[in-house]
Amino acid sequence: MSAGANRAEAADASRRPGESFARYFNIVRELAIADFRLKYHDSALGYIWSMLNPILMFGIYYFVFTTIFKSTIEGYPLFLLSGIISYTFFQDCTFSAMNSLASKAGIMKKIYFPRAIIIFASSLTCVFSYLINMLLLFVLVLITRGFSPLVLLTPIPAFCLVLFSMGVAFFLATLYSYFRDMGQIWNVLVLVLFWVSPVVFNVEALPEPISSIVYFNPLTRIFVLIRHYFIYNYFDLRFLLMTIVYSTAAFAFGYLVFRRHQDKLPELF
Amino acid sequence: MIQVRNLSKVFRIPHAKKKTLYHNLVSTFTKGYDYEQFYALKDVSFDVKQGEFVGIIGRNGSGKSTLLKILSRIYRPTSGEVVIRESLFPLLELGVGFQPDFSVRDNIYLYGALLGFRRQEMNSKLGEILAFSELERFVDAKLEKLSSGMQMRLGFSIAIQSVAPIMLVDEVLAVGDLAFAEKCRRVFAELREQKCTMLLVSHDLDSVKQYCDRAIILDGGKLIAEGDSRAMVEQYQNTAFG
């Protein structure tokens, strides 16, 4: 059996490349807005609900790590809050990628568009929330610690976090299409990863072999960078560049894996 | 122009549902028992010239929708080739992506985006869509409050905003009441004037006779006959009842 071919694609793509990009971007935006509204419509408190979980987590960890374990980390409330907000984004972004493939299966089977659009849209929905939370955090930083120019660099590691999370999301979504167990497995892994990322503790305080393991996790670098700029007013160019390289590589890897499989997806759901 | 050459599509019929990692691991040791090959389309070839309206008829499961899905790039062919040079608009289902919780207005924008329209373009089309679907009064109502016929009418009214040289239409004519059917007829006549090419899948044999120049009959994934639409409908009726 020779491989099947559908030459419509070639004809279509050569027509107006800019046009089709604009069209696809438009779909991403509309889907993301629709998702965002679906998430919070019809509830009186709307967006506030989505902040309840991180705030509760913050309260518990703050209590445990200041009164029971006597943390000595400088600026611990902001330290903890920035970690929780960023980790929550990572978690939401990866889970919603898998969920949205399943929930958009109906659309996927009826209209052709690059399947990656679905993941871009679900990630964009999470980016909205992350942006709002980070802006709130920014206000908190201004109030409690005052303004320092390095704060303005925070969008760079934040963007690295988005890239890395989307890379993981693309990879997971591909796996999920073939094995639905991936959702359950990821449920467990996300918890493990939480404790292998310096969300509640300081990675510098760990003994050597363990701190290397924790640094191996790209999330660690991103969290550390965000805190450098937000709280500690510290800049290390090499560390920043390496983080950008890692995140971009993770994104490229996940996206390429997804692209290899995206034409098969409609048949898998 | 559409050229379809020796097109086949194989689906695998699982004999045990195998969607979990456990089953996949187990099945690597028991290879060969899990799937049966099923030809949804087998060695189908035909041509459609520009400006032709071609009906596709056949029993349930004969491969009609699979054919349209391959032509619209949703499924990949297992073997064979499809050549389409013009841009194409697949109308496989009305109201894809409709959100029952959103207002009629929001759904028009959402569906419009999926069909490839930008917000500004939809702004100018909004009035026309509402007029055609006769839903002006309900523009801010939630979609779920509309009757299913009204929802389909809305879907159709949005969908016909996109006119491509090739239209693939799958069983969407049976929407709305008599007055709306008349409107649909006018839309089809307009498409014909614009020299659109159309592939129409329908169980409504009268509309195949009415709209199509030619028709093809699919049976069990094979193309068994091709010719004048009236003759084909007759042949199909004879085999179905004979």
ipTM of the complex: 0.79
The confidence score (pLDDT) of residue A119 equals 95
- Tell the burial category of B7 from Cβ atoms under 10 Å away from its Cβ (0-12, 13-18, 19+): buried
A16 touches chain B (CB under 8 A): no
A236 touches chain B (CB under 8 A): no
Tokens of B34: 């899990």
Calculate the alpha carbon distances from B123 to A64, B120, B129, B130 in Å: 54, 5, 10, 12
Optimal mutation site among B75, B107, B144, interface A, most CBs of chain A within 10 A: B75
Give the sheet arrangement for strand B35-48, strand by strand. A5-6, B79-84, B2-14, B35-48
The confidence score (pLDDT) of residue A23 equals 80
d(CA A93, CA A32): 12
Structural domain spans, chain A: 26-268
Low-confidence ranges of chain A (pLDDT < 50): 1-3, 7-15
- Å between A214 CA and nearest CA of chain B: 29
B81 interaction partners in chain A (CB closer than 8 Å) = 4-7
> B189-198: per-residue pLDDT in tens?
888 888 899 9
Q: What is the pTM of this model?
A: 0.85
d(CA A6, CA B49): 18
A260 touches chain B (CB under 8 A): no
Give the sheet arrangement for strand B197-201, strand by strand. B88-91, B166-170, B197-201, B53-58, B214-219, B222-228
Mean pLDDT of B96-114: 90
The confidence score (pLDDT) of residue A12 equals 44
Parallel, antiparallel, or unpaired for β B53-58 and B79-84? unpaired
Residue A122 CA to chain centroid, in angstroms? 10
d(CA A7, CA A76): 58
Optimal mutation site among A110, A125, A176, A184, interface B, most CBs of chain B within 10 A: A110
Chain-chain contact of A11 with B85 (C-beta, under 8 angstroms): yes
Amino acid at A32: A
The confidence score (pLDDT) of residue A40 equals 80
Task: Give the pLDDT band (50/70/90) at residue B202.
Answer: confident
A8 touches chain B (CB under 8 A): yes
The confidence score (pLDDT) of residue B176 equals 63
Task: Give the pLDDT band (50/70/90) at residue B44.
Answer: very high
Chain-chain contact of B24 with A179 (C-beta, under 8 angstroms): yes
Chain-chain contact of B97 with A106 (C-beta, under 8 angstroms): yes
Chain-chain contact of A8 with B119 (C-beta, under 8 angstroms): no
A187 touches chain B (CB under 8 A): no
- Tell the burial category of A37 from Cβ atoms under 10 Å away from its Cβ (0-12, 13-18, 19+): middle
Lowest mean pLDDT among A83-87, A230-234, B129-133, B170-174: B170-174
> A22-69: per-residue pLDDT in tens?
888 888 998 998 888 888 876 777 788 878 888 999 999 999 999 888
Contacts of B8 (CB under 8 A, 6+ apart): A1, A4, B39, B41, B42, B43, B44, B77, B78, B79, B80, B221
The confidence score (pLDDT) of residue B28 equals 61
